Amino acid sequence: MRSSLAFVLAGCLLAMQASARPACAAPMLDARYRVQTMGVDLGSAALKVAPTTGDGLATHLLFKTEAMLGLVEESSTEMATEARQARGKVSPSRFDGTYRKEDRSREIAMSYGADGAIESFRLTKRDGIRVSAVPAGLPPGTVDPLAAFLRARAWLDQAPEGAELAMSVFDGRKRYDANLRYLGLVQLNDDNGSAPAHRLAVRYTQAQALNEDTGVLEPERGRRRELELAVSADGRYLPLRLDGSLDGLPISATLAADCGAPGGCPD
């Protein structure tokens, strides 16, 4: 479940964290999220997006969960991607991911070639390299969760109601087939009042899992999961709320702090 929830936050919440302006002109995005199930705090996420030299973008996500009744383990997921965006085309160059639980951790390092395909891959576990070659069988165009976010932002800027975007997303351990569908404008009501928001439906399935002993991607028959996102209609497409169900638990992720103002949020 933790892996699925991390994927949702990285590949879905992040996918909507866009500005209609060119990336090089956008201010740094800095947001905090609260993740809950049945009204109980389950975890938190911190997201930062910043322009770098030229047309570069750097994205970073830190997601933590607390132990809960044996259903969820205490864990942390940290991801970072470097990419360039020019003329509407996103070209990722590097992805790093660290996945920690109480008794183990995994570190992923991936780089991309000039053609946009994953060119190098390394999985380290317990301070030893377990996989050092790009797994065979990744579909063309497969990207990491944060590169998927960058691809989705370009799509959302021009998507009409009913438009869909399909992506193959690989986080270094599992590969997902994901689909986004733009549902149109709604009026979102919460504790802070009412505001217009864009609605998006998210469907995804786990398609493959990496065998860490052989380095081979093995097929998975993960059930399709469906979630719904609301993002701000103020030109920033800031994620406001995510609702769905994972492994039988109702899940919601809500914006706790929009730290895009000068000074940002305290770390």
pLDDT per residue over 9-37, tens digit each?
Answer: 555 554 444 333 333 334 467 889 999 98
User: 58: which 2 tokens?
Assistant: 């750097």
List the one residue out of 236, 233, 227 whose CA is nearest residue 258: 236
* pLDDT on residue 183: 95
Q: List, in sequence order, every beta strand (DSSP E) within the chain.
A: 29-37, 40-51, 56-65, 75-86, 89-101, 104-112, 118-125, 128-131, 164-170, 174-190, 193-211, 216-219, 225-232, 239-246, 249-258
Higher pLDDT, 130 or 232: 130
Using the predicted structure, report yes or no on whether residue 135 has a pLDDT greater than 50: yes
What does the pLDDT look like over 169-191, one tens digit per residue? Answer: 999 999 999 999 999 999 988 77
Q: Single out the residue of 43, 58, 47 nearest to residue 94, CA to CA.
A: 58
Q: What is the pLDDT of residues 176-231, one digit of tens each?
A: 999 999 999 999 887 767 889 889 999 999 999 999 999 999 998 877 889 999 88
Nearest of 60, 56, 72 to residue 30 by alpha carbon:
60
- Return the pLDDT at 34: 93
